[in-house]
Chains A and B, each alone.
Chain A
């Protein structure tokens, strides 16, 4: 009698838990629908004519307001009313890819030297880098824009040097953290086999560092792709990145072509979201290892 009672109560508990599980799932589903609504809003508004977007962002496109792909054509074209968004996309791509590649190669090599050679100048450099992480950009923005102008770092290729300099802190910190925990035995074995430091670094150390390289790469990509103030101050007037162009039209210059702005935002967001769903685990890991700084 007692034992059957026990079984019954255990079953009841199980059933009860399941019911509350469903409630949680439903409640969170609803919250998440609200959570992604702003992105959905951008998407359907990109198919509406511009007079129907502001101030009516909540209305779905209908027969009267639907304009097909017109906004997208206007966004990428370089005509008088176009945003020239295609050029901005290209600029952003060049800046991001070059800067991230440069940061990954240079700071990982630098971090290797800093962890393996322990002297006063590597220590000073390491602490200066840590210090740079807490300095807000406004503190250095004016002198930076002057010196980058003078040194001709004001184009999409050379700006990668500025990003290497200003972004060195986080990257160096993450790489040294990894390398400190890495025993030097493996490298010594490679040395005995006749590898010089350069070969050892690229063929032995770098492959081991791959997870950290991915994390740093993701963090730096997210930062540089979305960065607004640094490129708008450093780059010469003829170059515009995606955030610069969106802010330019958002601020009301160029007669607020809201249709084209919506289309540009869709073009910007879609690849990022696709990339996110493909590399989710890496991105979350990158965020977690980057957050431990400070």
Chain B
């Protein structure tokens, strides 16, 4: 089949070119252009001046704009770590319980997954209403303090992603054979030992995948952020993606700087992906 396909360039045109052309427009060109623009000063696509590393150096010069970027970096990093731990511990616990044999487990799994059907904007809007409903009793509001936004976003992400990660964990747990657990029990292991010495090592692939997914999701969070707090109060709850967006479209004459931030953002997310890949590969080698 490969030979026939290769012989006639018409097949290349028919099978490959539509996707390749769209990929060039939708990814390759914007990506290349994005890297180039991070070294430029520009207000519109018509006037672009190459200025070298100045945009990147700006990040270390101080001033409100770079301070805000650093602040949003720390907020995002802390948020990503806390949400990764919380989501995975809870999702794993729920998955272990829902693979037990009691009535209604299928229905419960269905319900836990349901928030995933909604987009980030809806999720953020719904929880903004709920949390403000509670805080209004104390004459307070979600956008009054940064810590409220942090906790609010955490609640949204827990509600959204516990169900998703639980599905992955359930699939992993179902792959662990009962015979192995039974054998460990006969050898005198208690249920805690069975969980930590047999089950968890065997579902390690699921754990590393979920950790990676939640970590990158936490870093890339945008929709929930803009819908729920929009960075308020005073940019305190502005995460990296929103900070870049605001620098692009909210401040004048900072587009090159915004693009440089975006490149750094990409490098951070890429680094996490590479780390994940390395860890998974070394685990598989064992």
Beta-carbon contacts of A262-294 to B below 8 Å, as 1s and 0s? Answer: 000100110011001100100010011001101
**Given contacts A136-B265, A287-B167, is CB(A54)–CB(B129) below 8 Å?**
yes
In the complex, whether A140 has a CB less than 8 A from a CB of chain B is yes
Select the stretch in A4-12, A69-77, A83-91, A127-135 that faces chain B.
A127-135
A269 to B12 alpha-carbon distance, docked (Å)? 42
* Shortest distance between the CB of B220 and any CB in chain A (Å): 5
Flag if B119 contacts A228 (CB, 8 Å). Answer: yes
Number of B positions contacting A (CB below 8 A): 93
How many whole Å from B143's CB to the nearest CB in chain A? 11
With A113-B12, A147-B25, A294-B212 in contact, do A107 and B19 touch (Cβ < 8 Å)? yes
Q: Which of A138, A153, A280 contacts B25 (CB 8 A)?
A: A153
Looking at the assembled complex, report how far the CB atom of B162 sits from the nearest CB atom of chain A, in whole angstroms.
Answer: 9
- Minimum CB–CB distance for B82 against chain A, Å: 20
Distance in angstroms from B146 CB to nearest chain A CB is 19
Say yes or no: A55-B167 contact (C-beta < 8 A), given A164-B22, A191-B1, A269-B118.
no
Nearest B residue to A233 by beta-carbon distance? B249
Residue A68, interface by CB 8 Å:
no
Cα(A148)–Cα(B15), bound, Å: 23
Q: What mask results when residues 247 to 263 of chain A are scored 1 for a CB within 8 Å of chain B, else 0?
A: 10011000000000100
The answer to whether A246 and B1 touch across the interface, beta carbons within 8 angstroms, is no
0/1 interface trace, chain B 99-123, chain A, CB 8 Å (1 if under): 0111111011011111111111110
A292 nearest CB across to chain B (Å): 7
A228-B102 contact given A113-B12, A280-B110, A294-B209, CB 8 Å threshold? no
CB of B269 within 8 A of chain A? yes
- Interface assignment of A214: CB less than 8 Å from any CB of chain B: no
Q: Do A132 and B167 form a contact, CB below 8 Å, given A172-B19, A227-B119, A228-B223? A: no
Check A144/B26 contact, CB under 8 A, given A21-B102, A251-B230: yes
A151: Cβ under 8 A from any B Cβ: yes
Roughly how many angstroms separate A29 CA and B127 CA in the complex, as a whole number? 22
The answer, yes or no, to whether A125 is at the interface (CB within 8 Å) is yes
Pairwise interchain contact B119-A243, C-beta atoms closer than 8 A: yes
Residues in A neighbouring B11, C-beta threshold 8 A: 113, 197-198
Residue of A nearest to B141 (CB): A55
| 116-166 of chain B: CB within 8 A of chain A | 116-122, 124-130, 132-133, 136, 159, 164
* Chain B 245-264 interface 0/1 with A at a Cβ cutoff of 8 Å (1 = within): 10010000001001100110
| Closest chain A CB from B55 CB (angstroms) | 13
Listed from nearest, the 6 A-B pairs whose CB atoms lie closest are: A165-B26, A226-B119, A55-B136, A143-B33, A140-B30, A165-B22
Is there a chain B Cβ closer than 8 Å to A51's Cβ? no
| Docked-complex contact A161 and B122, CB < 8 angstroms | no
In the complex formed, the residue of A with least CB distance to B15 is: A113
Which of chain A's residues 89-128 have a Cβ closer than 8 Å to chain B? Answer: 106-107, 109-110, 112-114, 116-119, 122, 125, 128
Q: Given contacts A128-B23, A284-B113, are A38 and B125 in contact (CB under 8 A)?
A: no
Most buried by B among A113, A201, A280, A284: A113
Cα separation A118 to B142 with both chains bound (whole Å) = 55
Cross-chain contact A272 with B118 (CB below 8 angstroms) = yes
B212 contact set on A, CB distance < 8 A: 294
Tell me the nearest residue of chain B to A32, going by C-beta.
Answer: B111
- Judging by beta carbons under 8 Å apart, are A144 and B244 in contact? no
Interchain CA distance A22-B120 in the complex, whole Å: 35
What distance in Å separates the Cβ of A104 from its nearest Cβ neighbour in chain B?
Answer: 11
